[in-house]
């Protein structure tokens, strides 16, 4: 078994469980599916595998799962998270037929935390810190929306503020320059596993290519090592994947979010 295969097995066995959704308000089982409700009117559909379902069975699964969320008027968006290495015949077609739209695939990256925790020099004028105040969290969230080219929204900030109140181990990190937040990312230890997740990486376009995101990632990795974690995982866009690969992480598969909106 190659190291990539070892990492992928650990990912499937340790992370595709309740560990995947620590901030869930509720989880409903529907066959192999986990139907998850998050704060802010967001639904999420995931699973460890599809239990060998046929194309016909998957075609029936999708509208049944969506109906669960459609029945709750507070749910305004639903994400179905698929993985490239799963056996899922007919899934893409069934999602499209039920109003889901697929985003770009992301790379599932896994590797040893030590690979990311090297001393990375901060560019001149850049500082790192964790944030916990409501004002900082809202500023961080607005910056991420801008970096991703999304409309400004309070939904993500509301959910992050609610999670901080739960004290579930999540840390919010930012890099600041020129008196403002210019890069951000979350650190999410996964209970009862060797893993920690690094999520939400975003850097304003004018500040990319300076090593800021790499320094932010190294800071998060050092904090995770100090907490006793060994492995790191992340779903990475094409902006962050090369940075993580240069730091020793391996691409083990892909994941594609498909989104339905009310």
pLDDT at site 246: 86
Q: Are residues 57 and 141 in the same domain?
A: no
pLDDT at site 163: 87
How many other C-beta atoms can be found within 10 angstroms of the C-beta atom of residue 205? 11
Q: Tell me, yes or no, whether 259 lies in a domain.
A: no
Q: Are residues 132 and 213 in the same domain?
A: yes
Domain boundaries, position 75: 3-108
Q: Are residues 242 and 126 in the same domain?
A: yes
pLDDT at site 85: 96
Instruction: Give backbone dihedrals phi and psi of 84, rounded to 5 degrees, phi first.
Output: -65, -25
Strand partners, 188: 197
Q: Are residues 33 and 142 in the same domain?
A: no
Residue 198: name the closest of 120, 94, 110 by CA. 110
What is the pTM assigned to this prediction?
0.80
Domain boundary among 41, 76, 108: 108
pLDDT at site 79: 98
pLDDT at site 81: 96
In contact, 14 and 190? CB cutoff 8 Å:
yes
Q: Are residues 138 and 170 in the same domain?
A: yes
Distance between CA atoms of residues 244 and 237, nearest Å: 10
Residue 182: name the closest of 143, 215, 210 by CA. 143
Token pair for 221: 């990795």
Distance between CA atoms of residues 11 and 194, nearest Å: 11
Residue 115's H or E segment, with its range, is helix 113-116
Split into its structural domains, the chain has a count of: 2
- pLDDT average per 10 residues of sequence, the chain (262 residues): 93 91 91 93 95 96 98 96 96 98 95 87 94 97 94 87 89 97 95 88 94 92 93 88 87 97 95
Residue 234's H or E segment, with its range, is strand 231-236
pLDDT at site 53: 96
Q: Look-up: residue for tokens 């967001």? A: 42
Looking up residue 174, the CATH number of its domain turns out to be 3.40.630.30
């Amino acid at each position: 078994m190659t190291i990539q295969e070892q990492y992928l097995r650990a990912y499937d066995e340790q992370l595709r469980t309740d560990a995947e959704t620590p901030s869930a308000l509720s989880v409903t089982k529907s066959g192999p599916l986990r139907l998850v409700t998050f704060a802010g009117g967001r639904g999420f559909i995931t699973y460890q595998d599809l239990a060998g379902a046929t194309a016909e069975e998957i075609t029936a699964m999708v509208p049944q799962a969506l109906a669960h969320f459609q029945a709750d008027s507070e749910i305004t968006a639903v994400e179905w998270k698929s993985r490239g290495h799963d056996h899922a015949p007919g899934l893409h077609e069934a999602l499209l037929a039920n109003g889901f739209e697929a985003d770009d695939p992301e790379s599932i990256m896994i590797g040893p935390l030590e690979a990311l925790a090297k001393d990375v020099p901060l560019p001149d004028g850049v500082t790192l810190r964790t944030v916990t105040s409501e004002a900082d969290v809202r500023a961080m969230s607005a910056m991420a929306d801008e970096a991703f080219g999304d409309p400004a929204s309070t939904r993500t900030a509301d959910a992050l503020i609610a999670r901080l109140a739960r004290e579930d181990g999540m840390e919010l990190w930012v890099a600041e320059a020129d008196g403002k937040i210019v890069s951000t990312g979350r650190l999410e230890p996964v209970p009862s596993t060797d893993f920690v997740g690094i999520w939400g990486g975003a850097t304003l376009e004018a500040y990319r290519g300076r090593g800021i995101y790499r320094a932010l990632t190294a800071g998060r990795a050092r904090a995770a090592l100090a907490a006793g974690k060994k492995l790191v995982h992340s779903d990475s866009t094409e902006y962050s994947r090369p940075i993580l690969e240069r730091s020793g992480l391996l691409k083990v598969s892909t994941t594609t979010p498909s989104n339905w909106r009310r």
